[in-house]
Amino acid sequence: CSGHAKKKMNGRISGLYAVTPDLADTQKLIQQVRLALEGGTRWLQYRNKSADKSLGLQQATALMRLCREFAVPLIINDSLDVALEIDADGVHLGAQDCLISHAKNKLGAEKIIGVSCYDNLQCALEAETEGADYVALGSFFASTVKPHAVRAPLKLLREAKERLRVPVVAVGGIDLH
């Protein structure tokens, strides 16, 4: 996917955008992600807040190989350095991460930059203006991963879709129900 992810994105993200769990066991992580990819995951974000730099790089490298096998873009959460080192398809930035312009300058225009905007439409509008390729809003439902996350009202999705030109990703506690 590397280098072609932006073209593949075509101004939208559709289907399931999966985010990895915090797992120290790389083999278990790879097994779970393989099942998700076989099940139809169309985008993958590597997010492991408990991993040290060495484990994070090891896991991201293994996931990059797997994502290329399935032609699925791999987005790295919060780590521009890891995204650069493994030539990931992009990076996902949170509120405390680097500026969008800095990430674009480091990664290049062909890479994808996503931004978490939580429950803040103004943040999403600014991220779009600054060059984000997509914005993530939520948590929309209770989540075991982030139990204390700010909850966003569902009406925010409708308003964001009306006002933004970039894709909007809903996050937080989303399951089959």
Per-residue pLDDT tens digits for 35-59: 999 999 999 999 999 999 999 999 9
* Structural contact between residues 91 and 114, judged by C-beta atoms closer than 8 angstroms: yes
Task: Name the β-bridge partners of 169.
Answer: 136
Place of tokens 């398809």: 89
- Secondary structure of 47-65 as H, E, C letters: CCCCCCHHHHHHHHHHHHH
pLDDT at 7 over 60: no
| Contact call for residues 45 and 20 (beta carbons, < 8 A) | yes
Which pLDDT score, from 0 to 100, does residue 40 have? 96
Q: Model pTM?
A: 0.92
- Give residue-wise pLDDT tens across range 63-117: 999 999 999 999 999 999 999 999 999 999 997 788 999 999 999 999 999 999 9
From residue 61, alpha-carbon distances to 20, 48, 76, 139, 175 in Å are 14, 13, 11, 28, 27
Please tell me the predicted confidence (pLDDT) of residue 2: 46
The pLDDT assigned to 10 comes to: 60
Residue 140: what residue type? F
